[in-house]
Amino acid sequence: MQTIDTLLSARWIIPVEPPGRVLEDHALAIRDGRIVAVLPTVEAVRRYAAATRLDLPAHALLPGLVNAHTHAAMNLLRGLADDLPLMEWLQHHIWPAEQRWIGAEFVHDGTQAAMAEMLRGGVTCFNDMYFFPDVVAAAARTCGMRACVGLIVVDFPTAWAADAQGYLDKGVALHAALHGEPLLRTVFAPHAPYTVSDAPLARVRELADELDIPIHIHLHETAAEVEQSQARRGRRPLELLDDLGLLSPRLLAVHMTQLTEAEIARIATAGVQVIHCPESNLKLASGFCPVARLLAAGVNVALGTDGAASNNDLNLFGEMRTAALLTKAVAGDAAALPAHQALRLATLNGARALGLERDIGSLEPGKWADVIAVDLGTIEAEPVYQPVSQLVYATGRQQVSDVWVAGRRLLKNRELVTLDREDIVRRVRAWGHKISR
């Protein structure tokens, strides 16, 4: 028998790749943090001697979810200013609160709260955009969660940097400092075309090419954003980025609710990645991302929650369900985004957007063992005819029982292993009392 670290057997394994496949009574063999085999349980117990074995007779095992757009530290601003349109919400509530409170401690505590919430909801990898990315990286490293750390860029001064060049300098230094970190990647994160001027955007493109990392940006989020760009710069935001040479497979365009057919064709040709945040867009009345048309054009579409200040949660199971239902309604087609494809948006498509598809996003031999176990034996989930449909349309994040990142168990029977839940709650409440004064 071959010796391995962990053998996980379950009622169902949903590998995501190939699409639609569901394996019954199978097991996952893990060694040195990676998947070595996916095979029938009866064969697995004959072939492998595992240091740890876990049998999950009512569960589905699937890849960890990839939250492709977050502002993790904004968990501390959850519910601060609800039921407002985007620019009023930003300019009169969020930006003033950030100007007053942002610092290393704020970002550390908010990021820990976000990671705790995401792990308990089955998210194993998040792509962040926020200030003090060095603090985000340190928090993720301590927790053991996989993260793409956003190297934030804006024109205006904050507690993190004084000007665009300062953001760029600090970002490049952090990228170098994180070199070789197995669970951490970097991505340039210019906030949006309306907060970053042309010269810094052009420099971001040059540096991203040089460092071989993605670019993560809010784009075409609202009709007002597009109209203001046309009035002030004579071009729609997408056209502006195209002129600056930013349209490429490196670009992660977040929201994209305002798109013409010609723009869809252009981003498909350029290989741009689209990050869909349906619940945040709905709450802020920003518009509808044309997911069905994007997918039909061959665009890779992934899912993000946005920050908890605008969503107001980091629940990617909820985003899958909303994305599937909203896409059907917008397209006028009940088959527009079937359950297996919605799950793919939250797993392999997210990994592909971040350049991680060779490492995570599906349960295949050779990939890192980023795995979640979801209990489908509850009264809310039974009976189970189609496990993938059940996961997308009937499952809540509270049914995630266990989570592994690179083979390390970070959630055990709903309890966090590397984060102190009670301490996080205490600190978050303290921030709430301070901010609400």
pLDDT digits (tens, 9 = 90+) for 210-246: 999 999 999 999 999 999 999 999 999 999 999 999 9
Among 35, 24, 87, 96, smallest CA distance to 57 is for: 24
Phi, psi of 137, deg, nearest 5:
-60, -45
Helix axes 133-143, 104-120, angle to 10 degrees: 40
Assess contact for 168 and 210: CB atoms under 8 A.
no
Handedness of CA 421, 422, 428, 432 (dihedral sign): positive
Handedness of CA 7, 12, 16, 19 (dihedral sign): positive
Q: What domains does the chain contain, in order, with CATH numbers?
A: 2-63+369-406 (2.30.40.10), 65-353 (3.20.20.140)
Q: How far apart are CA 20 and CA 361, in angstroms?
A: 14
pLDDT digits (tens, 9 = 90+) for 412-430: 999 999 999 999 999 999 9
- The model's pTM is 0.98
The H-or-E segment that residue 146 falls in is strand 146-153
pLDDT digits (tens, 9 = 90+) for 239-282: 999 999 999 999 999 999 999 999 999 999 999 999 999 999 99
DSSP readout, 326-354? Answer: HHHHHHT-TTSS-HHHHHHHTTHHHHHHT
**In the structure encoding, which two tokens stand for residue 316, read together?**
């990617």
Average pLDDT over residues 68-73: 98
Give yes or no for residue 89 having a pLDDT over 90.
no
Give yes or no for residue 354 having a pLDDT over 90.
yes
What does DSSP say about strands 400-405 and 65-70: parallel, antiparallel, or unpaired?
A: unpaired
Give yes or no for residue 87 having a pLDDT over 90.
no
Q: How far apart are CA 428 and CA 80, in angstroms?
A: 13
Average pLDDT over residues 100-111: 96
Q: How many helices (H) and strands (E) does the chain have?
A: 17, 16
pLDDT at 437: 76
Residues written for the chain: 437
